[in-house]
Structure 1
Amino acid sequence: MHSIKVKDYLNHRPVTFSQDMRIEAAVEKLLQSGQSGGPVIDENKKVIGFLSEQDCLKKMLEATYQNESHSVVSDVMNAEPFCVSADDSIVQMADRMTVNTPKLYPVCDSDGILVGVITRAHVLLALDKYLHDNYESGHRYV
């Protein structure tokens, strides 16, 4: 049977941020990467927060009104990131993603060290591949 674990589909080289990075630099990284957000990590690659496009948008809008910006990532990041395990099931991730709003989750080891990220697109790809593999092997779905 085809493996459907997070570790088989995650992005091992996600865009990451440091807490002292200026918001403008973080926005540039997001725009260049095409990611909707990313983990904020410390010098040991431990996940200490999460920065989303929405977080950046709020701060950039505020800076536009004030005609200046002095914000850094730690000012706007979610300081309670929800990490998932590389051994988590893709099916469980899909279920979680239908209820919760994050489009991207940091994948961490048991010490909170970043391993990668998993997105809705990765989960869809995994489910699609699983269904195609089962269909081609003769299984029919009702």
Structure 2
Amino acid sequence: MGIKSFQGARRQQGNSAESTPLKVSDYMTRNLITFTPDQTIESVMEALIKNRISGGPVVNENNELIGVISEGDCIKQISESRYYNLPMQDKTIEKHMAKNIETIDGNMNIFDAANKFLNAKRRRFPIVENGKLVGQISQKDVLKAAMELKGQNWWK
């Protein structure tokens, strides 16, 4: 799940980096809007619009990550409902969410996370600890970290 590069591990051991937070957990969002598999697609769409988010984690009653639902998943369902002339009101997200979810370790170096975003072409990664969803890191969180750390040598 979480792979640290040698450079990331070395940085965290150095004296000067101790005062500079470089871990994903220092920048991730902990207060997440989550969904449950039995929620309707319409209720998810309302939440996405209301909260101005493009997707979110789906958790079970134990706060274990079981999937992710996105705007794209909802749009696909709208399209299929219209094509097959089927009502959408009672459809739950369980069959429409992405289930094969890639997560990253909260202890991962923020720069390694930036690379992971580039390679995976994802907008966000959930962070799981001991099987429970604890947060999410987005591309925007990585940008914020870069702006906070711009006085460091890597920026110049």
Q: Provide TM-score, normalisation by structure 2.
A: 0.80
Shift of 1:112: 2.2
Work out which of the residue numbers 111, 114, 138 in structure 2 matches 1:119.
Answer: 138
Q: Distance in 2 between matches of 1:36 and 1:102?
A: 12
Are residue 49 (structure 1) and residue 67 (structure 2) matched?
yes
Unaligned runs of 5+ in 2: 1-16
SS of 2:103's equivalent in the other structure is coil
Change (3 A) 1:60 1:7: same
Alignment check: 8 A CA contact 1:37 1:104 kept? no
CA contact (8 A) 1:15 1:35 kept: no
Q: Which residue pairs with 2:101 in the alignment?
A: 81
User: Structure 1 residue 124: deviation in Å?
Assistant: 0.8
Identity %: 29
Structure 1: unaligned runs, 5 residues or longer:
none
Q: Is the 8 A contact 1:19 1:40 kept in 2?
A: yes
2-structure distance, mates of 1:51, 1:119: 15
- State the match for 1:58 in structure 2: 76
Aligned-partner SS, 1:44: coil
Q: Which amino acid aligns with 2:108?
A: D
Q: CA deviation at 1:129?
A: 1.3
Please, which moves more after superposition, 23-32 or 63-72?
63-72
- Check conservation: 1:9, 1:123, Cα contact below 8 A: yes
Larger CA deviation: 57-66 vs 92-101: 57-66
Secondary structure of the residue aligned to 2:142 is helix
Paired position in structure 2 for 1:134: 152
Aligned with residue 108 of structure 1, among 128, 132, 156: 128
2:121 is paired with a residue of what secondary structure? coil
Q: Does the CA contact (< 8 Å) of 1:36 and 1:103 recur in 2?
A: no
Aligned residue for 1:4?
Answer: 22
Secondary structure of residue in 2 paired with 1:107: strand
**Counterpart residue type for residue 39 of structure 1:** P
- CA distance in 1: counterparts of 2:75 and 2:121, whole angstroms: 17
Aligned residues: 136
Q: Which moved more, 1:54-63 or 1:14-23?
A: 54-63
